[in-house]
Amino acid sequence: MSNRRQFWVFGLVLILIFTLLGGTIGFADQEEPKRGGTLRVAVTHGLESLNPRVTGWMNEAYNALYEPLINRDWKNRYKPGLAKSWEFSKNGRQLTLYLREDVEFHDGTKFDAEVVEWYFEEFMGGVVQYIVDPIENVEATDEYTVVLQFKRPYINILYNLSNSYGGLVPSPTAVKKVGLDEYGVDVVVGTGPFKLKERVSNTKMVLERFEKYDWGPEWSENKGSAYLDKIVYEVIPETVTRTAELETGGVDAIVTGVPTIKLESFEQNPDIKVIRGPARQLSWVAFNMDKEESPIIAGDLRIRKAISFAIDREAIREGVYNGTGEINGTYLPPMIAAQDIPEEFRHYYDLEKARNLLEEAGWVDENGDGIREKDGVKLSLKTIMVKRSEDARIGVILKDLLKDVGIELKLEKMDEAALTSVQKTGQWDLCIEDYVWDNADILQWFFCSSMLPYPNWFALSDPKLDHMIEEVAMAQPNNEKRTEKFKEAHIYLLTELVPAAPTHTQVKLQAVQKYVRGWRYKLVNKSMLNVWSDK
Amino acid sequence: MLHIAPGDPVVTVVGPTAPKQAYEAAREKLGLDKPIYYQYFKWLSRAAVGDFGRSVALRKSVNSVIAERLPITLQFTSLGILLMYLIGVPVGILSAVKRYSLVDYTLMGVVFIAVSMPSFWLGLILLLIFGVHLGWVPVSGYGTFGLTILPALALAARGAALSARVTRSSMLEVINQDYIRTARAKGLVERVVHYKHALRNALIPVVTLFGMRLGWAVAAGVSLEIVFNRPGVGRLLINSIFARDYSVVQATILVLSVSIMLGNLLADVIYTVVDPRIRYD
């Protein structure tokens, strides 16, 4: 074979290989996003208000409408948002925010330092009051610079300002026009890539593209206006209906409430893609630490430990969550740095240990009915939980598990409003609950005495813990030291106080049609900017 | 009753973590610091002039919320009630006319099954068959005929079965009366005997059933609105109970009660059409 022929054959083979690779893998992800179309998204709850100051429940719609002062990228690292940069003083008591100069609200008004000043001084409060509590002074030093002074080092403000609950900035003009109470019902004005078109309370919400938007965050591939024309959020509370809608193409995505029981069928469905986020919904059995209301539980650390050792967490993961989620035996989800403590401090399943602790505490089954007694009192505990929830299913398993060590549970299932009310009255022994949060400051929220009676409905009051969290951990000038100090407080809670028995941490599940492109899981501030439809 | 149940609408307004002063201020603003009889009479005096107050959970006037939701409920419940009679009465007649035949046994067998099925369960089954597997109609929502027919059928099934049973037994009773024998004796064809002479008299209990079925339809409609994701007054009522949104619960119950009363009134009027001997002097 001549050299020339070899050259041509070699060239042809190369072209063939590149064509094949390019067609199958090389260029598959580099499709040009298409503009246009409507995305229909199913959610479990309606949003009673789109006012970040009022609501305790949020979904992706918030992040499509509003933007935070500080953002987070795909790896959850702090990145510029409406503030293009920031600077902390060395002692952590002053933060200077340098704002973007090219941003405007959906109503055409300008975003500047005056807005941010108003935001901290007048708008913040309600459910997000805790964020502004440590702020001593807010001052706009020029048109696009704001300086915040704190009462104590407040490094965690970066977290709070980059979170949906704290950092979303509405238009002051719009808020003043309708008033703080009315804002968020029909009038919603932010700087996000979508604006509100229509809203039917607790039913549906239609967002449409904000054409002027061209200040997309640096972590976003798309920095201009959104690809989608519209996003329709539909509230579908019934699980069967919600999943049937996805299977029949009635909706394009389910962002909240993908039932684990449908996971296998969704994963086998060639038209559907399942997206798994990190484990962040932590379930626990809370103990009532009020000695007057629950003397058995609050009065003896050994009982609380025994209950925690008697919980077969694998049985809960299999029985309730179909094998999904993680078990780490701590009060913080696995994604939080302060949960990374030595194995010996974590809670685990050990029936023998549980039985020994109960014997040691003087609880024995005297009459042979399977339930332990002490001084004529039965070890019977009132256990409350929300009905029709995973917590209720945990309750059923827990009742069986604790029976094995001679503890009787009296389960009382109720709706959420009733549960909050009963928690506050203190008339309960155990409460099966869960929370979603990704910062160690949740330990202060639930367990410090400054949070009594709510959100510290555990009724825990321990001066040493208060000091460890509020005066030491939260006052650290940098995140590394803050994490170390939170770890110490966390260990103290898990070993010396035990106000709860952790059970399981559930992963975040979402399901979308395959033709929905650019959909990636993002912990916070997912703006829907990169999502497009290839339908 | 709702006031006795644990739960607090003030928490919906100010959030569970609100400071005591903010909580008390909101409680006063909502009038919940006043005695319950005072709250009730105040609500009653406002309701009398058509003002049902404001929803604490939805942050809108109750009137506008109900005006938004009522048509969605009426759409499928009215079709459901219509189907109850369009299906139930002919089945009952056919069964009575062909009594103790294979047709009668088959129809009554189906009726027996339909009576035993809870509406929400039938709704789910219809949704899975026609929505998911066959893909003939959309699974959930409201507005079009395709979206209304399945919840209407699920609502109608049990009522139609009951109407069929009542029509059948009533027809059988009437068919054995002397005047029917007389009609036959004077040589009238069976069709005229059944439909002109027997049916009108047999319909009286069926009309009575209409008034009673309305209340039932409202109750069954609540669960069907959840299954078919229709944001009607039933779903509004359930959500408002969970949110302890007293003003919406009171107004919704009032609206539903008035619609049941109107249904009964309509039944009384229909009596005079079916049986001209009935007069309301």
Measured between CB atoms, does B11 come within 8 Å of chain A? yes
Record: contact B124-A127, CB cut-off 8 A: no
Does residue B277 register a pLDDT over 80?
Answer: no
Kindly indicate the confidence band of residue B267, based on its pLDDT and cuts at 50, 70 and 90.
confident
Q: Look at B128 and A244 and tell me if their CB atoms are within 8 Å.
A: yes
pLDDT at A57 over 80: no
pLDDT of residue A14 exceeding 60: no
Task: Report the 3 state secondary structure along A476-499.
Answer: CCCHHHHHHHHHHHHHHHHHHHCC
For A471-513, the pLDDT digits (tens) are 999 988 888 999 999 999 999 999 999 999 999 999 999 999 9
User: A288 or A3: whose pLDDT is higher?
Assistant: A288
Between chains, do B229 and A238 touch, taking CB under 8 Å as contact? yes
Question: pLDDT tens digit string along A129-155?
Answer: 888 889 999 999 999 999 999 998 898
More reliable by pLDDT, A266 or B26: A266
User: A244–B15: do the CB atoms touch at under 8 Å?
Assistant: no
Categorize the per-residue pLDDT at A9 as very low, low, confident or very high, splitting at 50, 70 and 90: low
The answer on pLDDT for B14 being more than 60 is: yes
Going from N- to C-terminal start, the domains of chain B cover 68-274
Nearby residues of A472 by Cβ (< 8 Å), 6 or more positions away = A485, A488, A489
Please give the residue that has the higher pLDDT: either A353 or B21. Answer: A353
Q: Which two tokens stand for residue A271?
A: 């038209």
Beta bridge partners of A490: none
Among candidate residues B28, B232, B73, B240, the one with its CA nearest the CA of residue A48: B240
Q: What is the DSSP string of B152-197?
A: HHHHHHHHHHHHHHHHHHHHHHHHTSHHHHHHHHTT--HHHIIIII
Asked if the model's pLDDT at residue A61 lies above 50, the reply is yes
**Cβ contact B59–A181 (<8 Å):** yes
User: pLDDT tens for residues B84-115?
Assistant: 989 999 999 999 988 889 999 999 999 999 98
Residue A265: predicted pLDDT: 93
What is the rounded average pLDDT of the residues A333-349? 95
With a cut of 90, say whether residue A334 has pLDDT above it. Answer: yes
Please judge whether B141 and A250 are an interchain contact, meaning their C-beta atoms are less than 8 angstroms apart: yes
The residue type at A272: I
Q: Residue B7 is nearest to which of A245, A248, A421, comparing CB atoms?
A: A421
* Chain A residue at shortest CA distance from B224: A238
Distance from CA of B25 to the nearest CA of A (A): 13
Interface of A with B in 39-78 (CB under 8 A): 46, 48-49, 54, 56
Indicate the helix (H) or strand (E) that contains A432: strand A430-436
Q: What is the mean pLDDT of residues A109-136?
A: 89
CB contact under 8 A, B12 and A48: yes
- pLDDT band at A15; cut points 50, 70, 90: low
Whether residue A76 is predicted with pLDDT greater than 90 in this model: the reply is: no
DSSP string, A181-234: TTTTTS----SSSEEEEEEETTTEEEEEE-TT-----TT-S--SS-S-SEEEEE
Is B244 in Cβ contact with A244 (below 8 Å)? no
Closest residue to A250, CB basis, from B65, B139, B236: B139
Q: Between these two residues, B243 and A497, which has the higher pLDDT value?
A: A497
pLDDT number for residue A511: 96
Q: What pLDDT digit, counting tens, does each position of B201-232 carry?
A: 888 888 888 777 777 787 788 889 988 888 89
Share of chain A above pLDDT 70, in %: 93
Residue-wise pLDDT tens digits, A396-421: 999 999 999 999 999 999 988 889 88
Closest residue of A to B55, CA-based? A48
Q: What pLDDT score was predicted for residue A13? A: 60
Mean pLDDT of A340-355: 96
What's the CATH fold of domain B68-274?
MetI-like fold (1.10.3720)
* Mean pLDDT, residues A197-209: 89
Residue B33 at interface with chain A, using a CB cutoff of 8 Å: no
Q: Give the mean pLDDT of B31-52.
A: 86
Check pLDDT > 80 for residue B58.
yes
Whole-number pLDDT of residue B154: 93
Q: How far, CA to CA in Å, does B156 sit from each of B82, B138, B149, B172?
A: 8, 19, 10, 24
- What is the mean predicted confidence (pLDDT) over A87-104? 94
How many CB pairs below 8 A link A and B? 110
Q: How confident is residue A237, by pLDDT bands cut at 50, 70 and 90?
A: confident
Q: Tokens 């949060």 map to which residue? A: A437
φ and ψ of A42, to 5 deg: -95, 135
Q: Render pLDDT for A433-471 as a digit per residue (tens, 0 to 9).
A: 999 888 999 999 999 999 998 889 999 999 999 999 999
User: Can you tell me the ipTM of this complex?
Assistant: 0.73
Band of residue A381 on the pLDDT scale cut at 50, 70, 90: very high
The pLDDT of residue A477 is 84
Neighbouring-strand partners of residue A68: A168
In this model, does residue A388 exceed pLDDT 70? Answer: yes
Q: What is the mean pLDDT of residues B41-68?
A: 88
Say yes or no: A198 contacts chain B, CB-CB below 8 A.
no
Whole-number pLDDT of residue B260: 83
pLDDT band at A258 (very low <50, low <70, confident <90, very high): very high
Looking at residue A182, its pLDDT comes to 84
Query: Does the beta-carbon distance from A421 to B229 stay under 8 Å?
Result: no
Taking the CA of residue B20 and the nearest CA in chain A, the distance in Å comes to 10
Sheet holding A380-386, edge to edge: A194-200, A204-209, A230-235, A38-43, A253-254, A500-513, A272-287, A430-436, A380-386, A408-414
Q: How far apart are CA A4 and CA A22, in angstroms?
A: 27
Residues in B 216-245 with any Cβ partner in A closer than 8 A = 226-229, 231, 235-236, 239, 241-244
Residue A391 reports pLDDT greater than 70? yes
Task: Say which residue the tokens 């007069």 belong to.
Answer: B279
How close, in Å, is residue A100 to chain B by CA atoms?
A: 32
| pLDDT above 90 for B147 | no
Average pLDDT of chain A to the nearest whole number: 90
DSSP 8-state symbol, A35: P
Compute the average pLDDT of residues B266-280. Answer: 78
Quote the tokens at residue A350.
Answer: 């050990």
For A480, residues 6+ apart whose C-beta sits below 8 A from its C-beta are none
When mean pLDDT is compared across A208-217, A283-292, A517-526, the lowest value belongs to A517-526
Task: Please state the rounded mean pLDDT for residues A31-58.
Answer: 83
CA-derived radius of gyration, chain B: 24
Average the pLDDT over each of A274-278, A411-415, B161-165, B196-200 and give the range with the smallest value: B196-200
Question: ω into residue A217 within 30 of 0, thus cis?
Answer: no
User: Residue A12 pLDDT > 70, yes or no?
Assistant: no
